[in-house]
Amino acid sequence: MKRRTLLGGIAGAAVVVPTGLWATQSVWADAAPIQIAITEQTNNQVLVFNREELLGQNKRKWSFTPGRANGWGDLYEVRFRATKRFGDVALTASGASKKAGRVAMVKYDPAKKRDANLDDVIWSARVDTYPHSVERIPDSLAVVATGSRYGLHVFAPKNSDPATLKKVQDIKFAKAHEVLWDRKHNLLWAAGAYELRSYQVTGSGYNLRLKQVGKTVKLPYNGHDVQPNFQNPAQITVTDSDGVYTVDRATRAIKTISRTRKIKSYTRLPNGEAMYTVEDNAGPRPWAGDSVYFYKDGKTQKVTRKGAEIYKARYVTTQWT
């Protein structure tokens, strides 16, 4: 694995945790009892674990296994959102090849069903531009997917029934990889080639459209991830091929916090940990890796799962404004 640049700018001394499955001991005794989710592409699953149990397979709290047919593999995205009609849902994006793919809304209720499958899919749609992310706009109930071979794809409903969702708009944005809804500012952030954009929702129903607004934030390279900063809600965190940045949600001021390359997902957790994943340029999926990293107070915990190909790690929560 190529890790030469991994710790630069993010971590000091590394605490490596080798395991056959996952480690079961944290290097921080006071780590918050949070849950995390990963998109694991070897078995094409979303897996949810308690942070303190550090992702042991037999300790999973929830999983989603869709198979690979009809655009379902590989899983690139998962995030969790609250809905009035269905309760909490998981949003997923899959790219079955360099072209085909699928985005979906999946029932998320670990108390009733720990291991979900295609029977638990509330809605899905083919997106044949290699989708990497998906977001739900709560008030309009629209869904926006990123197709890295084209741009943004907007799905709008006729009413509250997701079965009425249909594609109403395509927006060109080279190498579009990530979208995030900002409820406080009523904006959709979108990251792609060399820039972070924001969009405003106009219209409703099948007349709904996204309109680009505000100052474009320039990125050094291709954007990969946009996530809340759960430690500092005034910011979002953004990654591109060359580093990690914070962006002020109000002023759009951008600040480099790391020059670590090829970070695929990055989140600052409420307990102060930075959680991130990095491509290892190895195996059948060189864009993924076999580890999740946690950094805090100058120490890095590397949690490795043998044989895994992890693209993203997410904080399991629906609470962000």
| Percent of the chain whose predicted confidence (pLDDT) is above 90 | 79
User: Cα–Cα–Cα angle for 137, 198, 242, nearest 5°?
Assistant: 115
Whether the pLDDT of residue 25 is over 70: the answer is no
Report residue 191: phi and psi, to 5°: -115, 135
Whether 7 is covered by a domain: the verdict is no
Task: Kindly tell me if the per-residue pLDDT of 239 is higher than 50.
Answer: yes
Whether residue 214 lies inside any domain: the answer is yes
Residue 1 has pLDDT above 50, yes or no: no
How much is the pLDDT for 41? 97
Give domain status of residue 27, yes or no: yes
Whole-number pLDDT of residue 32: 45
Of residues 66 and 148, the one with the higher pLDDT is 66
Q: Which one, of 31, 113, 17, lies nearest residue 65 by Cα?
A: 113
Q: Distance (Å, rounded) from C-alpha 146 to C-alpha 68?
A: 19
**Model confidence pLDDT, tens digit, residues 46-59:** 999 998 776 666 78
154 found inside a domain:
yes
Structural domain total, the chain: 1
Q: Is the pLDDT of residue 29 over 70?
A: no
Q: List, edge to edge, every strand of the sheet that includes 75-83.
A: 75-83, 87-95, 101-107, 121-126
Collapsing DSSP to helix, strand or coil, 51 comes out as helix
pLDDT in tens, 2-23: 443 444 444 433 333 333 333 3
Structural domain for 87, as ranges = 13-315
The verdict on residue 280 lying in a domain is yes
Write the CATH number for 73. 2.130.10.10
Residue 118 has what pLDDT? 98
Residue 190 is encoded by which pair of tokens?
């979108």
Residue 164 lies in a domain: yes
d(CA 264, CA 261) in angstroms, rounded, equals 9
Which pLDDT score is estimated for 57? 61
What value does the mean pLDDT of the chain take?
A: 89
Of 123-132, 183-192, 215-224, 301-310, where does mean pLDDT reach its minimum? 301-310
pLDDT digits (tens, 9 = 90+) for 206-223: 999 999 999 999 999 999
pLDDT digits (tens, 9 = 90+) for 179-200: 999 999 999 999 999 999 999 9
pLDDT of residue 54: 64
Q: Which residues contact 165 (CB under 8 A, 6 or more apart)?
A: 123, 125, 142, 143, 155, 156, 157
